[in-house]
Amino acid sequence: MTLRPPTVQWLADDGAAYRQPGPSARQHGFLDIIDQTKLPKELVRLQLCNPDDIYDAIKRLAVRGAPAIGCAAALGLAAVAQRLQASSPPDFIQQVRQIADYLASSRPTAVNLEWALNRCLGKLTAGSIPDLQQALLDEALAILQEDIAMCEAIGRHGMTLLRPGMGVLTHCNAGALATGGCGTALAPIYAAQAAGCDVHVFSDETRPLLQGARLTAWELSVSGVKVTTICDSMAAQVMREKRVDIVIVGADRVAANGDAANKIGTYQLAIAARYHRIPFYVAMPYSTIDRNLSTGDSIPIEQRSPDEIDHCPGVQVYNPAFDVTPHDLITGYITERGILAQP
């Protein structure tokens, strides 16, 4: 088994890496991420401190997955803030707020992005510019550390649903590459593996960007988990063949009634799972629940570039990045607070 490298971290100027706050982590540095567009062929890390570069990394999915985006944006904001030229603390705060608004506009669907940035902005109260810079870094590292602990808790709760030899179907990537820790939908699998309970994961390829075939398959395989990649269109047949005992997916935003937005293709999985009487679970941080939205109809759905699926010039393209699974198709929600029947 190969150890999974951290997806998001703080890299100090001297090369030391940090993933939790503390006196030793109070260092000038960079947001450090895996460039997921290069996987699985290359493992490339990016060190970022420019707002345009951080925006671009989020937009083009160099970093992706709702929790990882939130952690990266928070650390990125801290890196940018360390390099701002401000005349006074109020001027510094105004500049940081503008940068946070800019980063928040990079991807509209995942609630964690805006949540993490707003949490960092909440630390900009009083003090000198160095004090405010340090407050941003401390809070960003706290968010990352809490995300790591959250993933572990989701894993502990979710593993109670698994038994040796079970077939687990997942969609897109909601593992270590999508979070600061070991993942959301994949966390129960890693927890079960650590407890000696081996399962067989079926990973949807996840068109059009193949996050399942490229990312989920890669991180599970290097972690020693049995994984089989299937085309998205094969999922119902694999269910029919009784190879799947449970479906676990992630979520980028969950409405107050439990409707869940996740990578496009999730909704049809839930329908197929219901028909085949297979339990369908959504694993996510509790912070993914947006109480301001009563139903999934209000969740903003990101539209991706037509270039991702345009193979015939002159043909119109419709390319939503996410769909919304109605709450009545969801068996339960695996969160750090436990397995919930409703959010």
Residues 321 and 183 in one domain: yes
Domain final position from 151, 177, 212: 151
C-alpha–C-alpha distance, residues 107 and 84, integer Å? 24
Catalytic residue among 204, 232, 252, 259: 252
Domain final position from 99, 133, 151: 151
Task: Please report, for the domain that includes residue 192, its CATH number.
Answer: 3.40.50.10470
In a domain, 261, yes or no: yes
In the prediction, which pLDDT does 1 show? 41
In a domain, 3, yes or no: no
Residues 146 and 172 in one domain: no
Residues 61 and 191 in one domain: no
Residues 176 and 248 in one domain: yes
Residues 17 and 105 in one domain: yes
Residues 132 and 18 in one domain: yes
In a domain, 64, yes or no: yes
Known catalytic membership, residue 252: yes
In a domain, 60, yes or no: yes
Q: Tokens 């290359």 belong to which residue?
A: 42
Angle subtended by helix axes 111-121 and 129-158, to nearest 10: 140
In a domain, 117, yes or no: yes
Q: Looking at the 3D structure of the chain, how many domains does it have?
A: 2
In a domain, 188, yes or no: yes
Residues 178 and 39 in one domain: no
Residues 121 and 88 in one domain: yes
In a domain, 2, yes or no: no
Residues 222 and 102 in one domain: no
Global pTM reads 0.92
Residues 88 and 113 in one domain: yes
Residues 142 and 257 in one domain: no
Q: Each residue's pLDDT tens digit in the chain (343 positions)?
A: 446 789 999 999 999 999 999 998 899 999 999 999 999 999 999 999 999 999 999 999 999 998 999 999 999 999 999 999 999 999 999 999 999 999 999 998 778 899 999 999 999 998 999 999 999 999 999 999 999 999 999 999 999 999 999 999 999 999 999 999 999 999 999 999 999 999 999 999 999 999 999 999 999 999 999 999 999 999 999 999 999 999 999 999 999 999 999 999 999 999 999 999 999 999 999 988 999 999 999 999 999 999 999 888 889 999 999 999 999 999 999 999 999 999 8
Residues 247 and 204 in one domain: yes
In the prediction, which pLDDT does 287 show? 86
Mean of pLDDT over the chain = 95
In a domain, 1, yes or no: no
Task: Please report, for the domain that includes residue 37, its CATH number.
Answer: 1.20.120.420
Instruction: Decide if 100 contacts 136 (C-beta within 8 A).
Output: no
In the prediction, which pLDDT does 3 show? 61
Domain final position from 151, 174, 193: 151
Question: Which amino acid does the sequence have at 257?
Answer: N
Of 121, 2, 5, nearest to 73 by C-alpha is 121
In the prediction, which pLDDT does 264 show? 98
**Residue 25: domain span:** 8-151
